[in-house]
Structure 1
């Protein structure tokens, strides 16, 4: 039997037997299937391991090694698939403002994509952790947009766009972005900061997220939560490294890396 190409393997993981056409329905289905299949996870930065973001390295990690990743990995992988399927798509970067004022300007540490379909522009994102949108969002409207999970909306101030999510009755700002064309070095700089800088919220920290129908699963170090759309969240602290490893494997679908410090590092997290 012939070996599957990476794109064939990717599509197979997303439930496709053959390449779908480059339509809005396909884009919607691809994004939802991706965020419910491939975990957002930061095991590499937890372990202070390199995070290469060239496409062959990402394909090896996510498609062959059974891992997840974060925005510089997952959104590049997704963009490459969209382009191979014939979508008019390119990468963007943005400033994360979640948890702070929306007019703050941090570094460009988030990657997402712009897709144009029949003259209509959409942003698509499969790499924003626990608050990742589960549907592409039309760019040129400020009206709330339904997804399979929370409603989202975009606002534009004449220079850049802010993405908001409705959580309960509150609209929370997530990140700000513009449409500036990005070069490979722009992603390299952002990824270097996220994966190595002492001030990065990812370095030495464990974060994981995965979506499922009607809920979001999140992990922040040893704190696990299931956020339901129709009832209160369930939260608990993981009590052992073995339980944490089982959670990553069985709930988030992550094949754990063979790293000599993994168990001890997870043990320190649960004791913190």
Structure 2
């Protein structure tokens, strides 16, 4: 199956130009995480995660599902390249939620470098609760606005650190360098995330989506709503039916009967 660009555009609600311009890149980077959710149901339930283009399209475009970083950004890379962008896959060590003094985590996150005529940009449509909804210049030391939080890049050694301004404080999301990655690199890291007992993807239910200026988040049964400049709203979902309803209506995840049964059998802790 070759890339069905028209089907992808319908999936994300894009009816604008398909030209390799900054404006197009900005529109796609915003619309993608608004229509295709971040979620880890397959590794959580022991289902295989395939990274070939056919599988990504069947799941994320045709199947009404979401995925995690490799699924999102590999699909996004294929879309951008089909339009005519020059794209390089990169890898990052995720520090979000980890203590600064903790041992360095493995490079298990994927992001994208896009080279435009006026310089390189960074995009990342697969970072969960703080997924980048804008396009960043590869320019350290300056605050860059996005449709959601402000972001900035800092130089660290031979690479960079990405930070977001969250509740008035700069939070480190991940560190990365500009070494191009190959599909084999992503396949190996994806296998780790889907099988290693220390991977949170096999231990916790995770979901995220943006809806206008709102961010939705889910951690097991803890559902959160984040609005700019307002205190976050949080509630615990009571029972499987409430969980299914939120997954379908707030995150847009198409749940089949087998997934519902598997989630009931597994049980999702509070």
TM-score, normalised to structure 1's length?
A: 0.93
Q: In 2, distance between residues paired with 1:101 and 1:20?
A: 42
| Residue segments in structure 2 that go unaligned for 5+ positions in a row | none
Q: Specify the alignment match of 1:218 in structure 2.
A: 217
1:90 aligns with 2:79: no
- Shift of residue 101, structure 1, vs aligned partner: 4.2
Q: Specify the alignment match of 1:12 in structure 2.
A: 10
> Would the aligned equivalents of 1:161 and 1:177 in 2 still touch at CA under 8 Å?
yes
> Would the aligned equivalents of 1:102 and 1:176 in 2 still touch at CA under 8 Å?
no
Q: Specify the alignment match of 2:228 in structure 1.
A: 229
Aligned length: 268
Q: In 1, distance between residues paired with 2:177 and 2:242?
A: 41
**Alignment partner for residue 66 of structure 1, among 58, 64, 67?**
64
Q: Structure 1 stretches (4+) deviating beyond 3 angstroms?
A: 16-19, 101-104
CA displacement, residues 160-196 of structure 1 (integer Å, 9 cap, x when unaligned): 1110000122100001111111111100111011111
Equivalent residues in 2 for 1:110-259, closer than 5 Å: 110-259=109-258
| Residue segments in structure 1 that go unaligned for 5+ positions in a row | none
Q: CA RMSD in A?
A: 1.9
> Would the aligned equivalents of 1:47 and 1:265 in 2 still touch at CA under 8 Å?
no
> Would the aligned equivalents of 1:123 and 1:136 in 2 still touch at CA under 8 Å?
yes
Q: In 2, distance between residues paired with 1:123 and 1:169?
A: 23
> Would the aligned equivalents of 1:142 and 1:154 in 2 still touch at CA under 8 Å?
yes
Q: Specify the alignment match of 1:42 in structure 2.
A: 40
CA displacement, residues 15-38 of structure 1 (integer Å, 9 cap, x when unaligned): 234751111111111000011111
> Would the aligned equivalents of 2:3 and 2:53 in 1 still touch at CA under 8 Å?
no
1:27 aligns with 2:25: yes
Q: Specify the alignment match of 1:56 in structure 2.
A: 54
> Would the aligned equivalents of 1:47 and 1:204 in 2 still touch at CA under 8 Å?
no
Q: In 2, distance between residues paired with 1:19 and 1:80?
A: 17
1:51 is paired with a residue whose SS is: coil
CA displacement, residues 63-85 of structure 1 (integer Å, 9 cap, x when unaligned): 11110000010000001000000
